[in-house]
Every structure is written in C-alpha cells, then in structure tokens.
C-alpha cells in the first residue's frame, strides 16, 4: 500500500509543477504562443516578441525599422550599431554589427560599413 501512496504523491507533484509552469502572463502579446517555464523578454517593463521586435534604448521596435547614422547612412538598430569614429566638423560614423547574446558595444563589435560623406564633384564641359 505504501508504494502506491508514493507514486500517487509523485504524480500529483509533477502535475502541479507542470500546471505552474504553463500559466500564461496576462500582459503577453497576442499570438505569442505558449512559453513554458521561460521568462518573457522585456524592454523596460513591457513584454515583446523577439521574433518580430527588439528592444532599443528602452523602446520596442519592429525588426524592419531603420534609423539615421550620421547624415549619410541608415542602419537597422535591431541588428547594427551606429558608432562615432571621429568628432569635430567632419564627423565620421561606422555601422557595426550587434553581437547576439551580448550587450553590444562599439569598440568590441565588427565593422559592417563606413558612413563617409560622398561628395559628388560636378564637372562642367
């Protein structure tokens, strides 16, 4: 009789554990699916869907959004960084790749491209 009691207690404990882990949050995005026992990604105090959005400067952005980098470039803040290379009257900027799984920093990230000002010289015949 004792082994049945232990088995029943174990089954009850596993059931309670699974039910606790499968509780959804009330402020989860619509259509986010079931996230079992995983903390939802947050941006500030808001939950976001990392397959469609990213957190950039405490704002939730679409993965498709772009921003200006200097006066001549655009970059995708979800995937790239806009890094000043020099200061002064002729500022230079570099677009660098974000390193996934880390808090990316300009001095550690690989260069994607340079944002140099393209001056067009017009020649008159």
Residues 44 and 50: their CA atoms lie apart, in Å, by 14
Is 90 contained in some domain? yes
Is 102 contained in some domain? no
* Residue 107 CA: distances (Å) to CA of 81, 82, 104: 11, 11, 9
Predicted confidence (pLDDT) per residue in 29-55, tens digit:
555 556 567 788 999 999 999 999 999
Is 6 contained in some domain? no
Considering its fold, how many domains does the chain have in total?
1
Model pLDDT, residue 5: 53
Is 85 contained in some domain? yes
Q: In terms of residue numbers, what domain contains 81?
A: 42-97
pTM to 2 decimal places: 0.58
Q: Where does residue 64 rank: exposed (0-12), middle (13-18), buried (19+ CB within 10 A)?
A: exposed
Is 55 contained in some domain? yes
Model pLDDT, residue 32: 55
Positive or negative, the Cα torsion across 60, 67, 88, 111? positive
Is 107 contained in some domain? no
């Amino acid at each position: 009789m004792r082994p049945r009691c232990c088995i029943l207690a174990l089954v009850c404990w596993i059931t309670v554990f699974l039910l606790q882990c499968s509780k959804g949050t009330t402020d989860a995005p619509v259509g986010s699916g079931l996230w079992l026992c995983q903390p939802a990604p947050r941006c500030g105090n808001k939950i976001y869907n990392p397959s469609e959005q990213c957190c950039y400067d405490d704002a939730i952005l679409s993965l498709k959004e772009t921003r200006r980098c200097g006066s001549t470039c655009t970059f995708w803040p979800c995937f790239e960084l806009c890094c000043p290379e020099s200061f002064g009257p002729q500022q230079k900027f570099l677009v660098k790749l974000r390193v996934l799984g880390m808090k990316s920093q300009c001095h550690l990230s690989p260069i994607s491209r340079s944002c140099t000002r393209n001056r067009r010289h017009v020649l008159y015949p």
